[in-house]
Chains A and B, each alone.
Chain A
């Protein structure tokens, strides 16, 4: 079965501290993995995808096929990073989302 698991509903991190949002997936095949972000009162938007191997707003995510994980990391949290983050995978053209993790950056 195709599934995305984000174990943390809420993650609170102090400004300047490292951030890691966990994501594990289940998929029989080679999925495409994404992180989406939703800032307060804004629409859902793509943050990054594993195939591009980019760093967006200081965030990176590495696909670990052995552990079936795609954790999102940032070395130094900023207050503007506070948002809802969704890990997602695409298989057969449709995207399957996790339940999301709310990241709260403490001043």
Chain B
């Protein structure tokens, strides 16, 4: 079956603009995670959804970052007033059941803020 998909694969935006990044998890996976991977670093946790609700959003760096998952499937990561430091690869992962299941990763969205 289809794995986790993310769109767009690449996004270039100007400083100060608003962007939305989309994640389609594996069908039936109730847990969804967002990570950010900066150059030369490992993935950094941002937020974890269990169903429609954010179970842990402690990794969101500031209030410019927000994520939703209104129907418990597709999730959107929203970044307001983008800054050059937001440039990174944004990864999404999903897993069955609760937070203990294996996480399956998407290909990522490469965000470049100019």
Binding site for B on A (CB under 8 A): 4, 9, 32, 43-46, 49, 86, 88, 90, 92-100
Q: Which residues of B contact A90 (CB under 8 A)?
A: 99-100
Residue of A nearest to B41 (CB): A99
Known: A44-B91, A93-B48. A99 touches B40 (CB 8 A): yes
Q: Dominant SS at the A interface? A: strand
Q: List 26 A-B contacts (CB under 8 A).
A: A9-B40, A32-B100, A43-B3, A43-B105, A43-B106, A44-B43, A44-B105, A46-B103, A49-B102, A86-B43, A90-B99, A90-B100, A93-B48, A93-B98, A94-B33, A94-B99, A95-B33, A95-B45, A96-B45, A97-B35, A97-B43, A98-B42, A99-B40, A99-B42, A100-B41, A100-B42
